[in-house]
Amino acid sequence: MNLKNGILIFSIFFALVTVALFSREIELQFHEVKELYDPDFNDLHNVGFSKIIVRSFLNNRKNGGLLFENSNFRVSYPGFSKILKSNSKRKFSLWGWLITRNYDWLETNELYDTGFENGERLKIRKLDLFNPEVRKLVIEVFRSMVEVGVEGILIQDDLSIKSDEGFSSRGMKTFTNESKVPAKEKLMMDSGSPYNLKWIKIKKRLLNEFLADIVRECKSLNPDIKIGVNVFYEAAIQERNSSEWHSQDLEGISGSGVDLIYLMMYHRQMKRELKMGSGKIKDLFSKGIENAYKIAGDRLVVKLETYDWNKGEIIPLKEMIEFIDLIPKKIKRICFTPVKNAGMPYLKGLLKAASN
């Protein structure tokens, strides 16, 4: 081999390694099912999107249900199953987006959790994860999704127990057994108190162990399947609030064996909820990503909102690019949600900005 050919081969090899090191996986998450929004997923893949995430449930008390066949819960209509069938020869990675607690359409309340609000206990339309039978049913739903043939599953952010939730009889009993003191709702909700800190620890452990169970059970059916989980932005910038408000912590989630951690860095939502200007939000946005990367590493997916639910509008591409440009090159994955009828030029603009 002469020197000229050697240099050429080395240059090609270096270029390939560089692409491998710095290329990103750009994902799209659809909030609508195919009956309502009918894109050509292969066209999206052909322009450069590598993964499509599709809703597999409908939260509606009257007509809600799962959108694929399973043996435990009502099927509202098989929209997700139809998407799988129509994309059986897909070139892209197709994931299902699945709930854990928000089964608000059930006719019986035996599986529901209990909340505590204004000094009163009340049933809430979320499943009680302190109930082992509930956990078993939910895991069977996840197993059903694995069996229908997806490449991965994204777990909805309802894998959380908020500060005013978890007060079912089983939850109260768990607290008493572990803390060795009587369960009293007001004390358990008294921020920063010994009761409260113990209660937060119990809820976080329950969720992290349940997440680990989901991952293990799914991979027992298909070792190649990937599991991701939505995580609130507070977990990366307000650890105490994240623990108290959502029972979520990045360390615990990271230790569950989950493949990908989807950090929901929704800049307009953050700006609205934290009552901060654009400059401070950008600083916090960057800080949150860095904090999460220290724990999650290359498992981190930065998730950006493309639609303002409060204003009912697609967020302008120029504004999206401002935040995309804040994401460090070391971040390997970016997910855009929700996909709305913004048109291919808009999606291509997101893709170009995220790929650079």
Supply the pLDDT for residue 214.
Answer: 98
Give yes or no for a contact between 319 and 269, defined as CB atoms under 8 angstroms apart. no
Question: What is the residue extent of each domain of the chain?
Answer: 27-164+204-355
Rounded distance, CA 109 to CA 287, Å? 42
CATH fold label, 27-164+204-355: TIM Barrel (3.20.20)
Q: Which amino acid is at 52?
A: I
Supply the pLDDT for residue 114.
Answer: 98
For 215-254, the pLDDT digits (tens) are 999 999 999 999 999 999 999 999 999 999 999 999 999 9
Give yes or no for a contact between 251 and 240, defined as CB atoms under 8 angstroms apart. no
What tokens were used for 134?
């509930």
**What is the chain's percent helix, strand, coil content, to nearest 5?**
45, 20, 35
pTM (2 d.p.) = 0.92
> Which residues touch 152 (CB under 8 Å, ≥6 apart)?
51, 93, 95, 96, 225, 226, 227, 228, 259, 260
Rounded distance, CA 171 to CA 270, Å? 31
Checking if the pLDDT of 7 tops 50, the result is: no
Mean pLDDT computed over 326-355: 94
For 278-314, the pLDDT digits (tens) are 999 999 999 999 999 999 999 999 999 999 999 999 9
Mean pLDDT computed over 108-133: 95
For 169-225, the pLDDT digits (tens) are 999 999 999 999 999 999 999 999 999 999 999 999 999 999 999 999 999 999 999
Q: Which amino acid is at 333?
A: R
Checking if the pLDDT of 4 tops 60, the result is: no
